[in-house]
Amino acid sequence: METTVVVAVVALLTSMGLPAIRTFFDSMATSGGTRAMISASLASARAIAAKEQRYAGVRFQEDLNGHQYMIFIVNDAQIRANGFRAVEGLQPIKLPETIGVMDLNLGSTNQVINADNLINENWELTDTTTFSIIFSPSGKLVIHDVRTINKDGQTNDTSKDDIFNTVTNVVNEIAIFVQDADKEPSRNRFVIYDKVQFDKINADGRWTDYLSALEVIYINPYTGTMVNR
């Protein structure tokens, strides 16, 4: 009898709690909800930089299935010059399925899409959705060269790092994200876009018909807060 009562109470509480939980996750699956997630992550990255007294930040990157995450990264010069590894003990934060974050720093020499302002190839979309935001030990936003790599500093397949690793180890599900082959500068701005709407647009018109009209979000270099211009 006591077991029956306990099961009934748990079932009742669960049924009452599910709508609230569902509403919470639905609220995150919006541009505003994603912005709140990013804001909290940037604040955490600044705190990590100040605590560790080294460059730290947030890395935006997709896994092989196209799911975009925010990864906390920290500079580790012992691994490699400009080398950044994942912060140990902090798991990547998955962004909502329908919302994405994109770097549209079209002045960058690292992005070949500058030539035509088109994002009509899968690799171009991967390039624009992979970037880092870095803070100095004093908490100031900086443009800093970044090369993400596993905590062992290995370019072969021997590292067991479960966050950043080689293509082979990511394919074999040892790690989630492919590490960098080359360094690239961090960013200070981005846009939040609707993946559903983006996918509906013809590839050659994604920039002119949609992305170019999005509001660019900048990061205040002194406070780390997001501002629109």
Query: Could you tell me the two tokens for 209?
Result: 């018909």
**What pLDDT is stored for residue 117 in this prediction?**
56
- Which secondary structure element, helix H or strand E, spans residue 191, and what is its range? strand 189-194
The type of residue at 83 is G
**What pLDDT is stored for residue 122 in this prediction?**
63
**What pLDDT is stored for residue 120 in this prediction?**
58
Q: How many CB atoms lie within 10 A of CB 161?
A: 22
CA dihedral 145, 146, 151, 157 (to 10 degrees): -110
Query: Could you tell me the two tokens for 216?
Result: 């660019």
Inform me whether the pLDDT recorded for 69 exceeds 60.
yes
Angle at the Cα of 86 (from 85 to 89), degrees rounded to 5? 140
pTM of the shown model = 0.82
**What pLDDT is stored for residue 207 in this prediction?**
83
Inform me whether the pLDDT recorded for 72 exceeds 70.
yes
CA distances to 53, 104, 122, 125 from 112, rounded to whole Å, are: 35, 12, 13, 11
How far apart, in Å, do the first and last CA atoms of the chain sit? 63
Contact 45, 56 (CB under 8 A): yes
DSSP structure class, residue 39 = H
Q: Where are the domains of the chain?
A: 53-228
The mean pLDDT of 186-211, rounded to a whole number, is 90
Q: Which of 3-17, 106-120, 124-138, 172-186 has the lowest mean pLDDT?
A: 3-17
Inform me whether the pLDDT recorded for 222 exceeds 60.
yes
Contact 155, 180 (CB under 8 A): no
Contact 31, 192 (CB under 8 A): yes
